[in-house]
Amino acid sequence: MLKTARSYEEACRTFRWRLPDRYNMAFDVCDRQTMAGADGHRTALIVEAADGAVERYTFLMLRLLSNRLANVLTGRGIGMGDRVAVALPPSVEAAATVLAVLKMGAVLVPLPLSLGEEPLAWRLADSGAKAVVAGDTMVARISAARDGAPMVETMLVVGEAAAGGLDLWAEMQAAGDAFTPVVTALDSPALLTYPEHAMGKPGGLLHGHGALLGNLPAVEFGLGFFPQFGDILWSPADWMTYAALLWVVLPAWHHGVPVVAGPHAQDAEAQLGLMARHGVRVAWMPPTMLEKLTTAAANRPHPLPRVLGTGPAPLPAALRDKVEKVFGTIPNEIWGTLEIGAVVANNAQVMEGRPGSPGRAAPGLTVEAVDSSGRVLRAGDAGFLALAPNAPGACLGRWNRESWHPGRLPNGWMPSSQAGHRDLDGYIWPEPPELLPGTVMVDGQPVALAEVEAALTWHSRVSAAGVVPQVEGGLKAFIVPTGGAGDVHLARDLQAWVRRRRGAAEVPGRIEFVDCIPLRGDGSTDTDELLSQPIRLGAPDPDERF
């Protein structure tokens, strides 16, 4: 969609939207790659398992597999507009499921693998999902979450079927491999997304099939005029997130570029080996993952990708310089939110980077700071960052159980969830999200301390709990144990308990056992008093933790 250019201005001047009246995301990125003279035997997916075994799948193979799964879901009563929740690691099963749901005209509800039972239960209930496709590591959590989601009728499991689930591969083997994709419009519902964090009960955002086309300009620009000859794309991000799907996997297949899928949550050194073995030339990852990858690469031989993309969180200037020194390339930022998609990007080939800004509006898009009425503000004035009307990447609206309503301003602009401003040169400057009282950031995700405390007190061996943020990052929990003193085994059990009920980002890195939890007058935990108490017993060393 985007032509290679010698400057940002040329890229904008030569860009043209090419939006069809009818468009199905799965047909575009998979079925189309096997038709009209296209070579369907090109590699679409490279999967490396934890044991080092490698499997390659062509576009034709993905088409036939997704057709089988589409027939399975159709036979289970799933139809156009029905929601299908998916919780799978990067794999051929994840690829087939995403494509199957989209080509059916159903609505994909990706569930991040880091979420625990409580946030999963909210998403299943709020989305009204009729079916769930999950990996065996997620079965226990999703089975517990189904108690509050009566709409779920079918659960397909990769691995050993358990807790009322059906074996995914057995069901697919019994199904036919012929399926005609549903004809959908650009604004036909395709994707229902929720924030990645586990905090609270967030509302969902509904995206149409045209969301992929709307995200392409920023993605192509931020990934160095992607694609280039020989590109192979990889990301360590969870595929069950909006950015991984719409900024990595689906854009790559739209252009017929292979995607590498490695073991989920592998360490940075293993990721460098994965990149080298499969010739990864383009990679995208959030800044926290990029920092770990750069640190690991600083002291060992490593591959030199053509381009490294990051976002949507801001990239610190020190990390930017470190990445350039280690990998020999300046990382490009891509910025956007669930409401408006990828809309801002930087491309070091044709424009300067300014620390604190992810770049300028992508070709074909207009991003401005607006006030509550939608009035565009002058350069330098802060407001809500918003996307101009008629941009295909904006969400259709905000989800509310069985319906949705447009979240646009009266003049048609779609506001994002972040404040910020545009400067005179067109660079966008998002402001850090404002945290509510009692909320802290952990690994780039907001965490409500009270929710972690509540989860801990549900444990049978906890009488009371208080949670505070640590200066070096992460959380620290103070526990009043029941039935005797706490020990290292209980600390481990509590960490696993929080991970299972809440999510990975909310697991306390340290645990201390105390006699009582000091409270303020309003009944909340007195964090200052807790922090002044002497240390008694810590959690296990990092190598021993779950």
pLDDT digit string (tens) for 136-194? Answer: 889 999 999 988 788 899 999 998 766 668 999 999 999 999 999 999 999 999 999 99
| Res 536 pLDDT > 60 | no
pLDDT at 163: 61
Half-sphere exposure of 78 (CA within 13 A, CB side): 32
Q: How far apart are CA 368 and CA 420, in angstroms?
A: 9
| Burial (CB count <10 Å: 0-12, 13-18, 19+), residue 412 | middle
pLDDT at 337: 96
Condensed to tens digits (0 to 9), the pLDDT of residues 225-260 reads 999 999 999 999 999 999 999 999 999 999 999 999
Q: How far apart are CA 65 and CA 97, in angstroms?
A: 9
Looking at residues 428-437, what average pLDDT do you find? 91
pLDDT at 542: 47
Structure tokens at 123: 């998403």
pLDDT band at 479 (very low <50, low <70, confident <90, very high): very high
Q: Which DSSP letter does residue 245 get?
A: I
pTM of the predicted model as reported, rounded to 2 decimal places: 0.94
| Res 540 pLDDT > 90 | no
Condensed to tens digits (0 to 9), the pLDDT of residues 165-174 reads 899 999 999 9
| Res 38 pLDDT > 90 | no
pLDDT at 162: 63
Please state, as a whole number, how many other Cβ atoms lie within 10 Å of the Cβ of residue 538.
Answer: 14
| Res 101 pLDDT > 70 | yes
Looking at residues 101-118, what average pLDDT do you find? 97
Q: What percent of the chain has pLDDT over 90?
A: 81
| Res 525 pLDDT > 90 | no
Domain segments of the chain as ranges:
24-209, 439-544
For the domain made up of 439-544, give the CATH fold: GMP Synthetase; Chain A, domain 3 (3.30.300)
| Burial (CB count <10 Å: 0-12, 13-18, 19+), residue 371 | middle
Condensed to tens digits (0 to 9), the pLDDT of residues 353-367 reads 999 999 999 999 999
pLDDT at 545: 40
| Res 444 pLDDT > 70 | yes
Strands lying side by side in the sheet with 510-513: 462-469, 475-481, 510-513
| Cα dihedral: 119, 120, 126, 129 (round 10) | 170
Q: How far apart are the first and last CA of the chain?
A: 45
Out of 3.40.50.2000, 3.50.50.60, 1.10.1040.10, 3.40.50.12780, the CATH code matching 24-209 is: 3.40.50.12780
| Res 532 pLDDT > 90 | no
Is 62 in contact with 30 (CB distance < 8 Å)?
Answer: yes
Q: Which helix H or strand E contains 208, and what residues bound it? A: strand 205-208
Q: b/e string for 231-270 if b means 16 or more Cβ within 10 A?
A: bbbbbbbbbbbbbbbbbbbbbbbbebbbbbbbbbeeebbe
Q: How far apart are CA 111 and CA 196, in angstroms?
A: 8
pLDDT at 165: 86
pLDDT at 544: 42
pLDDT at 538: 52
Looking at residues 323-334, what average pLDDT do you find? 97
